[in-house]
Amino acid sequence: MRNNLYTILFIAIAFSACSKSGTDTYITSSRSSTTTSSTTTTTITSSRGNAPGSGSTTTPTPVYDISFNNGNQVVKVSVNNKTLTMNLHESINLLIRKDSLAKSFSIIFKEDFKSIQLGKYSYTTLSKDGTITTNYAENNLNNVTISGTKDTTMNSVVYTKISFNRNFIFTGTFNTSTEAGVQYDYLLNNKETIYFSSYMNTTTGVSATVKSSSTLVYTSN
């Protein structure tokens, strides 16, 4: 009888051990399954970045790439009695991705005269149709005479170089010839920085505005 009790007890313990072993195997299998079935989502951002206003929390690289390739901007200065004349020869080179340019219907370009000495004076310039305008510069390049376009490849990307030139004649009349001469000397002994900006209107919206600057050099006419 005692032997039978030992036998029954041994079987019960063995069964209990087998049941626990089965549970562990199930849990292990379940964890393995969970790990295997989990999904990792990788967000790939284009190297050209997000469009402005897309909600990105990082500073986007402009979708429509515009860059400037300008040298110094030269102003020829002359004085005649009480009148000071400053002739700015604006020479601009824009580099625009060719694929982006194909989506555009206008390129907007602006120069900032307010932050430099020239901003104190009135100016005239010649429009595309030959009209002389006063204190107004066309900023839509569709209405500006383009001197040349040329494709160039940089880092396997094709850009279109757009070049144009404009003359702005600024004049100021002083109370005396001495005052005009003082301003004349001041300009010839100083350099300034002129700022430019450009963006495109495209079939998919407005591109990011790109800004640039050039040294403004005053020389005697």
List the CATH number of the domain containing 97: 2.60.40
Q: Has residue 125 been placed in a domain?
A: yes
- In tens digits, the chain (221 residues) has pLDDT values of 545 444 444 444 444 444 443 322 222 233 333 333 333 222 222 233 333 333 333 344 444 479 999 999 999 999 999 999 999 999 999 999 999 999 999 999 999 999 999 999 999 999 999 999 999 999 999 999 999 999 999 888 999 999 999 999 999 999 999 999 999 999 999 999 999 999 999 999 999 999 999 999 999 99
Q: What is the pLDDT of residue 10?
A: 43
Same domain, 100 and 2: no
d(CA 210, CA 164): 18
Q: What is the pLDDT of residue 198?
A: 96
Same domain, 126 and 210: yes
Same domain, 94 and 21: no
d(CA 166, CA 133): 12
Q: Has residue 40 been placed in a domain?
A: no
The range of the structural domain enclosing residue 141 comes to 66-220
Count: domains in the chain: 2
pTM above 0.75, yes or no: no
Q: Has residue 121 been placed in a domain?
A: yes
Same domain, 125 and 173: yes
Same domain, 21 and 106: no
Same domain, 2 and 91: no
d(CA 159, CA 98): 5
Counting every residue, how long is the chain?
221
User: Cβ contacts of residue 195 below 8 Å, gap of 6+?
Assistant: 111, 112, 115, 211, 212, 213
